[in-house]
Amino acid sequence: MDLGLKGLRALVTGGTKGIGGAIADLLAEEGTAVALCARNPEEVAAKVAALRAKGVAATGRAIDVADSGALKTWIAEAADELGGLDILVPNVSALAVGADEAAWRAGFSVDLMGTVAAVEAAMPALERSKAASIVVISSVSGREIDFAAGPYGAFKAALIHYAQGLAFQLAGRAIRANTVSPGNTYFEGGVWHRIEEGNPTLFAEALRLNPTGRMAHPDEIARAAVFLASPAASFVTGTNLVVDGALTRGVQF
């Protein structure tokens, strides 16, 4: 199936590794120009080079998405550099699973306001697009209580609500908005890799809870996100797509 992504332009926050990196890779493989940001300048430069090697335009910058001013400035500049913007994927998370005030502030600044700032900055370019789409990366922790209950789960739930509100508010302007809620996703250097090394009991329990007996790979989440972002999903908006290998037990109506 042709997703209709060739020639479009996408921006991914947290796009150097893990789920965000896999989304950037798949978009590029589909012929989409990609702008990305992350905090590590060396990793940003390496990812941009890798994407350009796939034959598409790519640009990136080292940014902390909690700095909304810097984020908004860069998004406007990236859209100008790419000649417009069709797809926005706010992906960055503070992974705030603690219970202290610092964790709540980090989750608010990065997960929630980093997404809101990205949407606001991208809106002028998205309004000029003929295939505008926003895909917010949430989490299954936003729809049920698990070990990440607290700031991480609360703000992931808020993102689902925010995106569904955007879908309703922007439908008349032909801008779609959806969320993807991944289950536990494993990659080298990621949170579950660190848990595997530092807390093998929790890691084993997480594996036990999933009837597939494994965690997701980033590319499995990326395929779902890229489909929702694409013109092939032109009438899908306001949806939260759970990609968790039957980990969660709640029924989503």
pLDDT attached to residue 4: 98
Residue 92: the pLDDT is 97
Cα-flanking dihedrals φ and ψ of residue 35, to 5°?
-110, 140
Tell me the pLDDT tens digit for each residue of 157-203: 999 999 999 999 999 999 999 999 999 999 999 999 999 999 999 99
Angle between helix 18-29 and 41-52 (nearest 10):
20
What pLDDT score does 253 carry?
77
To which H or E segment does residue 224 belong?
helix 218-229
Paired tokens of 248: 């969660």
What are the tens digits of pLDDT across the range 77-125? 999 999 999 999 999 999 999 889 999 999 999 999 999 999 999 999 9
Give pLDDT, residue 118.
98
Give the other-Cβ count within 10 Å of 3's Cβ.
Answer: 18
Whether the pTM exceeds 0.95: the reply is yes
Q: Which residues form the catalytic set?
A: 138-139, 152, 156
Model confidence at 148: pLDDT above 90? no
pLDDT of residue 183: 96
Residue 163: per-residue pLDDT: 98
What the block records as the tokens of 109 is: 């600044």
Domains identified in the chain and CATH numbers = 9-243 (3.40.50.720)
**And the tokens for 47?**
């990812």
CA distances from 60 to 7, 8, 48, 93, 158 (A): 18, 17, 6, 18, 27
130/222 Cα distance (integer angstroms): 23
**Percentages (nearest 5) of helix, strand, coil residues in the chain:** 50, 15, 35
Q: What's the longest Cα–Cα distance across the chain?
A: 50
Burial per residue of 119-140, b for 16 or more beta-carbon CB atoms within 10 angstroms, e otherwise: bebbbebbeebebbbbbbbbbb
Q: What is the mean pLDDT of residues 67-76?
A: 98
Q: What integer is the mean pLDDT of 18-23? A: 98
> Residue 252's pLDDT is what?
80
What local confidence, expressed as pLDDT, does residue 251 receive? 86
Give me the pLDDT at residue 146, please.
Answer: 87
Using CA atoms, how far apart are residues 15 and 25, in angstroms rounded to an integer?
9
| 182 vs 179: CA distance, rounded Å | 10
What pLDDT digit, counting tens, does each position of 229-245 carry? 999 999 999 999 999 99
Is the C-alpha dihedral spanning 17, 19, 24, 26 positive or negative?
Answer: positive
Phi, psi of 138 (to 5 degrees): -105, -135
State how far the Cα of 7 lies from the Cα of 33, in Å rounded to an integer.
7
Q: Would you say residue 48 has pLDDT above 80?
A: yes
- pLDDT at residue 77 in the model: 98
Percent of the chain with pLDDT over 70: 100
